[in-house]
A and B are shown apart, each in its own frame.
Chain A
Amino acid sequence: MEQSNSKQERNKRRISRRSFMAGIGAGTVCVAASGHLFAAGDSQAAEKVLESDEMSKIRLHINGRSHQLLVEPRWSLLYVLREKIGLTGSKEGCGRGECGACTVLIDGIPRYACLTLAVEAEGTEITTVEGLMDGEKLGTVQQAFVEEDAFQCGYCTPGQIMSVEGLLRKNPAPSVEEIRTAVSGNLCRCGAYTHIFKAAEKAAESRRK
């Protein structure tokens, strides 16, 4: 069980798949893994157990804007993004952390939104594919995907773009092998990988200019 004693620490908290699984394992209604219910400095508060239809109020920071909403503790971040907030750029391919179509940046790191509970994401900075836009203008990675035709059906594309975006924020000049690894958690059934590698290289180049 993760515990954090200050908001600052909580903000830095990395959401792990293990903590998500622990949350599920403790029963569908217990949000043991979630930081937001813990009163600062009081670990005893972790004992609180919610009923299945009990909603909790959370605040999510998405693409630079703050959203306050009521969620069930079991709702995934992906479900909230898509069905409650209307940010449908992040896609659901499997809902179980296999395909990466739901990849978003959480504090700058690519994460599967389907394996992240909405309550877990509180206090983090979430960036979706919509957040890479400057008004109607495409971000550099998006533009490179257009030019290199780095997709076919386009359904895995937002996730691929977010993985590349996460890579380039950390590594502005990646090798093809580093690009491969960065998108290896993003399945593309249309098989656009080789064009995705090119797009990532092109985006890296255009950002260096």
Chain B
Amino acid sequence: MADDQKSIYYTEGLPVPETPPPGEEPQPWEKTDVVGKPLPRVDAYERVSGTAVYPSDVVLPGMLYCAILRCPHPHARVKQVDTTAAEALPGVRAVIGPDTPEADLPWFFRDAKTALFPRTCRFEGEPVAAAAAETPYQAWDAAGAVQVDYEVMPYVADERRALESGSPRVHEGGNKLKTDTYSRGDVEKGFSEADVVLEQHYRTEAEVHTPLELHGCVANWDGDELTVWESTQGVYAVQSKIAGILGLPLSKVRVIGHYLGGGFGSKLRTSRYSIIAAVLARKTGRPVKAFVPREATYLTMGNRPPSNMTLKAGVKNDGTLTALKFSCLGTGGAYPAGGTSLVDWQIRELYLCPNVSTECTDVYINAGPARPFRAPGHPQCSWALEQMMDALAGAIKMDPVGLRLKNVPAYSQGRSGNPPYTTTGLSQCLSEGARKFGWEKARRRTAAKNPDSPIKRGVGMAASIWFVGGGGPPSTVIVKLFSDNSASLNMGASDIGTGTKTIMAMVAAEELGLEPEMIRIEHADTGTTQYATPSGGSKTVPTEAPAVRDAAIQVKRQLLKMAAEEMNLPVEDLRYRGEKIVSRSQPEKEIRITDIEGLQKRGVVMGVGHRGPNPENKTVNPFCVQFCEVEVDTNTGEMRILRFLSTNESGRVMNRLSFDSQVIGGVTMGIGLAATEMRILDTARTGKMVNRNWHDYKLPTSLDVPADIVSAPIEMPDAEANITGAKGLGEPVTIPTAAAVANAVYDATGMRILDSPINPLTLCSVLEQQNKEG
């Protein structure tokens, strides 16, 4: 990149889109020169050199380290906390707990109120006390020296038993949080019209996010102003939570999150450690660093809830779906946390079906509260629906791709009023994906099995929709053009590793006719950057990119106006050409941007951009279809994933390089749900989580993923969605993965694995069952 930079200070000849006059909406780009290219990240240098300062890298003069003592029981009353011994240890500067006046603060899980240090701990890992000391080692010594007298209470750790009579109660009101229902048409009538009706129970295990950077922050007071460096997906969300709990004006709380080492939804919300760090920092008059140890992140920093699903489906012999009936029992843990959020959405939405009913029951158990986890509810639902579609296709002897193609909707069936999609590439994803994967040939090949070999190959596929992904207001972005025609871009959004900053630089570059390297990004700081909602829901690009484009257009309009005055020409006659502004009628008349006196006098020209509204009565959604090939050793139960192809319709491809990175990342994470990940609670004896580390809770490693993961986007710039034509990508890409693997395993072995994960243990027990049944 360095060599390129030398020649780009003033860009020559980079075409620039027409600048719409004030009051006129810009049209989507017809062709682009920067957007869509495979560009390395603007912050790649920082990330590979070690110079990027993640919140966990912040070291301030005089900084103390915080250690939080956590409840070791899934359900217990904290009778007494004695901090005397802890306070006397070397290096210890403060110890706080439920009896410390300044730490006597409320805490909320949605609308359920508890405390910073609750007297009743409803899940393992709730904070009981905290210490600040000169080194983390001393802080942990202190936390370990706090004497706590617990009254251990009965617990329930299995959501399937939470509603049994006599089950211990998580809350006084009982263990049922709610049941949500949905219906359209008449499912019983639908089943009676079907040629084939199948019913099956499915289960997906709870997954834990475990981003590589631990959850944590550094808190520092300057008088009555608090600054927090937080590993977060949304600095403004953290700011409002901290200010609310501590009773501070928003203006006095600055949250900075320039980098974060992964979140996947677990860093959308604020955690109690941030408040604890702020309290300890105020009490000691020193900056305090509070990072949660890995084991505690398993217990307290969220999870994808387990889902117990039953799906009954009816289909006609020609592939027409007649009815879908779905129920799910799930749990968000010990507090309201979306235990069954969106878990029925694909049933309602993905395929044409006139008769649908769903019922989702969310219960409490004594386990850590869930947090949104990359496409909440969707991969679970996909596990059930897409295995069912595969089984239906088999039953009516139709190709699984063909069955899906037969039932592609053009409008949203799950939303009231049935709004049409602005665009849907589901059909193209299905047919193009099948073609690029070589689906039909592969199916023929895997059908011809060698009965003498224990090694069986199979292919599988699955489709999906993400229920949002179009983004929307609010978003404000400022683009500043400096007098030398370089620019800075100021936005509040976080780049959670998806390449947001790079894409925004590309959008501004496209519009201003600059190279992206000429644009400096300021972001994710409530003290200095504009308001943004957290980066999640696959909405960051479709939310922020249009605001960036708008801000760049505002800059161009001002410069055109200045140029018109200085050139004594009407503004309508002028065109913005990147390095200069030229007259349409008299092409010899032109002015370099850097020669515009108004710009030179002011030093900068600033454009303020906003995210416009979404289209009315339409819905914006991304789609994804994936294909894979697996190999199963029926002797050992080992399964190898040989290749994957993901075809995504996410509107315009903004940066082909980071697009592909997100695709392979989503597939890799989906392989975790399919094959390696499960939270294990010791439901019978202690209620504790027994695999709270990366040895026992296995993430996909470099040995578990195929080197052959192909990203094959279906690019359909969505002119109605927003002025950049982009839709979200990060979540759709992980939704169908696990189901595609399960379907491939079925193709290989003839066995349906109904409960995740597909590991040698589950495969062997299913294969053994198969042998017994002959």
Using CB atoms and an 8 Å cutoff, list the residues of chain A in contact with chain B: 52-53, 72, 74-75, 79, 82-83, 86-96, 98-99, 101, 128-130, 133, 138, 142-143, 145-147, 149, 151-158, 161, 176, 179-181, 183-184, 186-197
Q: Nearest chain A CB to B663's CB is how many angstroms away?
A: 10
Cβ contact within 8 Å between A155 and B668: no
- List residues of chain A with CB within 8 A of the CB of B54: 88, 91, 155
Interface centre among A82, A91, A158 (most CB of B within 10 A): A91
B294 CB-CB contact with A under 8 Å: yes
Name the interface residues of B76-118: CB closer than 8 Å to any CB of A. Answer: 90-91
Cβ contact within 8 Å between B667 and A157: no
Cβ contact within 8 Å between B48 and A145: yes
Give bound CA distance, A176 to B708, whole Å.
11
* Chain A, residue nearest B710 (CB): A194
B755 CB-CB contact with A under 8 Å: no
Q: Which of A147, A152, A158, A191 contacts B50 (CB 8 A)?
A: A158
B684 CB-CB contact with A under 8 Å: no
A82-B57, A187-B699 known; A192 vs B50 contact (CB < 8 Å): no
- List residues of chain B with CB within 8 A of the CB of A128: 50
Cβ contact within 8 Å between B665 and A191: yes
Cβ contact within 8 Å between A138 and B667: no
Name the interface residues of B491-534: CB closer than 8 Å to any CB of A. Answer: 496-499
- List residues of chain A with CB within 8 A of the CB of B136: 79, 83
* Chain B, residue nearest A87 (CB): B50
Give bound CA distance, A155 to B694, whole Å.
16
Cβ contact within 8 Å between B497 and A153: yes
Stretch at the interface among B16-24, B177-185, B210-218: B210-218
Cβ contact within 8 Å between B693 and A98: yes
Interface centre among A52, A157, A183, A194 (most CB of B within 10 A): A194
A149-B657, A149-B660, A157-B48 known; A193 vs B705 contact (CB < 8 Å): yes
B448 CB-CB contact with A under 8 Å: no
Give bound CA distance, A161 to B49, whole Å.
10
B40 CB-CB contact with A under 8 Å: yes
* Chain B, residue nearest A198 (CB): B707
Name the interface residues of B661-682: CB closer than 8 Å to any CB of A. Answer: 661-662, 664-669
Cβ contact within 8 Å between B294 and A98: yes
Name the interface residues of B476-503: CB closer than 8 Å to any CB of A. Answer: 496-499
A72-B135, A88-B50, A98-B693 known; A194 vs B707 contact (CB < 8 Å): yes
Cβ contact within 8 Å between B705 and A156: no
B26 CB-CB contact with A under 8 Å: no
Closest 3 CB pairs of A and B: A89-B50, A191-B668, A155-B261
Cβ contact within 8 Å between B707 and A153: no
Give bound CA distance, A117 to B708, whole Å.
39
B245 CB-CB contact with A under 8 Å: no
* Chain B, residue nearest A181 (CB): B703
A91-B54, A189-B699, A191-B669 known; A151 vs B48 contact (CB < 8 Å): yes
Give bound CA distance, A32 to B213, whole Å.
32
A91-B54, A149-B40, A188-B212 known; A194 vs B48 contact (CB < 8 Å): no
- List residues of chain B with CB within 8 A of the CB of A142: 48-49
Q: Nearest chain A CB to B521's CB is how many angstroms away?
A: 15
A147-B40, A155-B211, A155-B213 known; A186 vs B294 contact (CB < 8 Å): no
Give bound CA distance, A179 to B668, whole Å.
17
Give bound CA distance, A196 to B662, whole Å.
13
Cβ contact within 8 Å between A153 and B695: no
Cβ contact within 8 Å between B137 and A96: no
A92-B214, A147-B40 known; A191 vs B702 contact (CB < 8 Å): no
Cβ contact within 8 Å between B259 and A94: no
Cβ contact within 8 Å between B40 and A195: no
Q: Nearest chain A CB to B208's CB is how many angstroms away?
A: 10
Cβ contact within 8 Å between A189 and B669: yes
* Chain B, residue nearest A137 (CB): B2
A72-B135, A155-B212, A196-B702 known; A149 vs B47 contact (CB < 8 Å): no
Cβ contact within 8 Å between B498 and A184: no
Q: Which of A91, A151, A152 contacts B56 (CB 8 A)?
A: A91
- List residues of chain A with CB within 8 A of the CB of B705: 191, 193-194
Q: Which of B50, B53, B59, B664 contacts A195 (CB 8 A)?
A: B664
Interface string of B336-374 (1 = CB under 8 A from A): 000000000000000000000000000000000000000
B264 CB-CB contact with A under 8 Å: yes
Cβ contact within 8 Å between A187 and B694: yes
Q: Which of A154, A179, A193 contacts B47 (CB 8 A)?
A: A154
Cβ contact within 8 Å between B50 and A94: no
30 A-B pairs with CB atoms under 8 Å apart are A53-B90, A75-B137, A82-B57, A88-B53, A88-B59, A90-B50, A93-B214, A133-B49, A138-B49, A142-B48, A142-B49, A146-B40, A146-B41, A146-B44, A146-B45, A149-B660, A151-B48, A151-B661, A152-B662, A153-B497, A155-B261, A180-B703, A181-B702, A187-B212, A187-B699, A189-B210, A190-B668, A191-B705, A194-B707, A195-B661
B658 CB-CB contact with A under 8 Å: yes
Cβ contact within 8 Å between A152 and B48: no
Q: Nearest chain B CB to A66's CB is how many angstroms away?
A: 20
Cβ contact within 8 Å between A151 and B47: yes
- List residues of chain B with CB within 8 A of the CB of A190: 212, 262, 497, 661, 665, 668
Q: Nearest chain B CB to A117's CB is how many angstroms away?
A: 12
Q: Nearest chain A CB to B655's CB is how many angstroms away?
A: 9
Q: Which of A89, A156, A189, A194 contacts B49 (CB 8 A)?
A: A89
Q: Which of B294, B658, B662, B706 contacts A94 (CB 8 A)?
A: B294
Q: Nearest chain B CB to A163's CB is how many angstroms away?
A: 10
Give bound CA distance, A154 to B498, whole Å.
10
Give bound CA distance, A53 to B662, whole Å.
47
- List residues of chain A with CB within 8 A of the CB of B416: none
Q: Which of A161, A183, A194 contacts B709 (CB 8 A)?
A: A194
Give bound CA distance, A188 to B705, whole Å.
12
B420 CB-CB contact with A under 8 Å: no
Q: Which of A94, A154, A176 contacts B261 (CB 8 A)?
A: A154
Q: Nearest chain B CB to A193's CB is how many angstroms away?
A: 5
Give bound CA distance, A87 to B51, whole Å.
9
B69 CB-CB contact with A under 8 Å: no
Cβ contact within 8 Å between A191 and B47: no
- List residues of chain A with CB within 8 A of the CB of B214: 92-93
Give bound CA distance, A188 to B260, whole Å.
14
Interface centre among A74, A90, A193, A195 (most CB of B within 10 A): A193
Query: With A72-B135, A189-B209 given, can you name 20 additional A-B contacts, CB distance below 8 Å?
Result: A79-B135, A79-B136, A89-B50, A91-B54, A93-B214, A94-B694, A96-B294, A133-B49, A152-B498, A152-B658, A153-B259, A153-B261, A153-B497, A189-B210, A189-B699, A191-B665, A191-B700, A192-B664, A194-B705, A196-B702
Give bound CA distance, A82 to B63, whole Å.
13
Q: Which of B48, B90, B91 contacts A138 (CB 8 A)?
A: B48
- List residues of chain B with CB within 8 A of the CB of A75: 135, 137
Q: Nearest chain A CB to B293's CB is how many angstroms away?
A: 7
* Chain A, residue nearest B262 (CB): A153
Name the interface residues of B9-55: CB closer than 8 Å to any CB of A. Answer: 40-41, 44-45, 47-54
Interface string of B254-271 (1 = CB under 8 A from A): 000001111010000000
B701 CB-CB contact with A under 8 Å: yes
- List residues of chain A with CB within 8 A of the CB of B211: 153, 155, 189
Interface centre among A87, A129, A147, A191 (most CB of B within 10 A): A191
Give bound CA distance, A184 to B694, whole Å.
13
Interface centre among B50, B293, B497 (most CB of A within 10 A): B50
- List residues of chain B with CB within 8 A of the CB of A91: 54, 56, 212-213, 261
- List residues of chain A with CB within 8 A of the CB of B661: 149, 151-152, 190, 192, 195
- List residues of chain B with CB within 8 A of the CB of A149: 40-41, 44, 499, 657-658, 660-661
Interface string of B123-151 (1 = CB under 8 A from A): 00000000000011100010000000000
Cβ contact within 8 Å between A154 and B700: no
- List residues of chain B with CB within 8 A of the CB of A158: 48, 50
Q: Nearest chain B CB to A141's CB is how many angstroms away?
A: 8
A93-B214, A153-B260, A191-B669 known; A130 vs B49 contact (CB < 8 Å): yes
